[in-house]
Each structure stands twice: as C-alpha cells, then as structure tokens.
C-alpha cells in the first residue's frame, strides 16, 4: 500500500488496554457513540500529550487522589548511546498510606481528602514505554518489567484487584518488517542495557507523579468525588523532608 510516495503496511494489530473508572464514570450508561469515536480518531495528532483529567485518564484514581494521564522521559548520556526513553501512564492504582514521592511519605503526611468507598490498591495502571534504542523483542520484555519498579518507588504494590498493564516498543530497526532479501537488525548489547532500565524506572515514577499533579478534583456519578493532590501542601511536605528544589523551583 502506498500513499504520497510512502509504503504502508496494509494491516495492523492494534493493542487496546482497559482501566476501571466506575467510581466516577457511569460505565454501564453506553454514553460513547459512533460519532464520538470518529471525533476522537479524527482529532488524533502528534505533539505534546495533555496530562491529568484527559482522554482515558479522565476517571482515574491514583493513591486515592485524582489520577489520570501522565508522561515523562529520559535522554541517556552520550556514552550510553544518547537514546531516549519515553513513558506514558494512565495512573489508576494504589493506596494512600503507601504514597511516596522522592522518598517522602506523602501519603502519611496528607492523610485526609479521602474519597468515600474507594478501597486501596484497586484499579488498573497502564504503562507504555517507547524508545529509539535498538532493542529486540526479548530485550523489550526485560525493559517492560522495570515499569513495576517505577510504580513501587511511588508506593504501589500491584494490589490484588489492580490489573497492571505494561507494553514497550522500539522505533529502531524500521526495516525489520521488509519481506524482500535479508532484514538487517541492530541490537544494543545486553551489557549496555542497564541505562535503559534505569531510564524506564525513573520515567515511570515521574510520569505517575505528573499525572497526579496535573489532575484536578472531580465529581462524577452518584456525587462521588475524588480530590486532587493539594499542591501547596505537597510543597510544604517536600520542604519538611528537605526535598524542595535547591533553586527554589518546586
């Protein structure tokens, strides 16, 4: 299949993940119609991703604060290849007591503003990891497992009723799908993969925090309300534990 001089794959196998937002959303109301799906597809574009109460992140709850969509990325040192690791999360998991940010027990310091009838460690977090590092499928399987470490650094434990969903892909080796001659692939040596692991952990951790900080208090079905993490109080807690930015930018 060709379009404007470019060759496109004539078929695709899309991946669709799901998170439960039934505390805020009338999930059995069948409110999404064909025209809404068409509008979403027609409006899809590249560029910066809106965070917080947007898209599939609209009804999310993270650590019993308002969750949502979050992103973060890391650029590896030139000596490690200069590759980019980007992470997108749909943060919808965790209990308040375990919430930790930069090593600070934020959940214990801000123990109020709790939503009613939202048990801890429920929901499902989606983590999408993208990189331009030349990784083969078996290496991406290793990378994607590191998302769990980023979640754990924020206090997630992979609760019993939380369906944690991770996927990773590499944009390198663009000719891997060619069906003529031999496909030549590049692969990052396994001994050089640790910086990618570290970037994945860090970006996952930060993306979740970004989702929570960008989110806003929301009331939904049956008057259920989930509160956004209070920014000023969060700053005070971080100062208390000497985690405020040294340049005064918090």
Distances (CA, A) of 126 to 148, 160, 202, 242: 11, 16, 16, 31
Annotated active-site residue in 124, 170, 191, 219: 124
CB contact at 8 A, 132 and 172: yes
Active-site residue flag, 46: no
State the distance between the two ends of the chain, measured CA to CA, in whole angstroms.
50
Which listed residue (38, 164, 191, 219) is catalytic?
164
Give the whole-angstrom CA distance, residue 115 versus residue 104. Answer: 22
- Which member of 12, 162, 191, 219 is catalytic? 162
Is residue 170 flagged as an active site residue? no
Question: What's the DSSP call for residue 239?
Answer: H
What are the distances in angstroms from CA 138 to CA 134, 141, 188, 197, 222?
Answer: 12, 5, 12, 14, 46
The two tokens of residue 193 are 């993969």
Element (H, E) at 34: helix 34-42
* Rounded distance between C-alpha atoms, residue 129 and residue 196, angstroms: 11
- Please confirm, yes or no, whether 79 is among the known catalytic residues: no
Q: Is 1 exposed, middle or buried (0-12, 13-18, 19+ CB in 10 A)?
A: exposed
Give the residue from 190, 192, 191, 201 showing the smallest Cα distance to 168.
Answer: 201
Residue indicated by tokens 């000023």: 232
Tokens of 203: 């970006």
Active-site positions read 124, 162, 164
């Amino acid at each position: 299949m060709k379009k404007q001089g470019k060759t496109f794959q004539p078929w695709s196998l899309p991946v669709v993940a799901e998170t439960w937002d039934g505390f805020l959303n009338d999930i059995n109301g069948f409110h999404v119609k064909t025209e809404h799906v068409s509008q979403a597809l027609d409006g899809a574009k590249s560029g910066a991703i809106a965070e917080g109460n947007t898209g599939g992140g609209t009804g999310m709850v993270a650590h019993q604060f308002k969750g949502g969509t979050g992103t973060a990325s890391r650029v590896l040192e030139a000596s490690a290849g200069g590759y980019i690791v980007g992470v997108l999360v749909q943060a919808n998991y965790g209990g308040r007591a375990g919430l930790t940010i930069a090593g600070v027990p934020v959940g214990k310091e801000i123990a109020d503003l709790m939503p009613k009838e939202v048990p801890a460690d429920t929901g499902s977090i989606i983590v999408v990891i993208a990189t331009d590092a030349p990784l083969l499928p078996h290496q991406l399987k290793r990378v994607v497992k590191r998302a769990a470490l980023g979640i754990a650094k924020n206090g997630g434990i992979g609760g019993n009723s939380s369906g944690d969903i991770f996927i990773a892909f590499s944009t390198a080796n663009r000719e891997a799908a060619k069906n003529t001659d031999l496909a030549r692939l590049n692969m990052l040596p396994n001994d050089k993969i640790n910086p990618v692991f570290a970037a994945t952990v860090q970006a996952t951790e930060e993306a979740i925090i970004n989702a929570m900080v960008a989110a806003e208090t929301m009331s939904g079905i049956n008057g259920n309300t989930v509160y956004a993490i209070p920014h000023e109080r969060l700053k005070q807690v971080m100062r208390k534990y000497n985690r405020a930015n040294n340049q005064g930018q918090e």
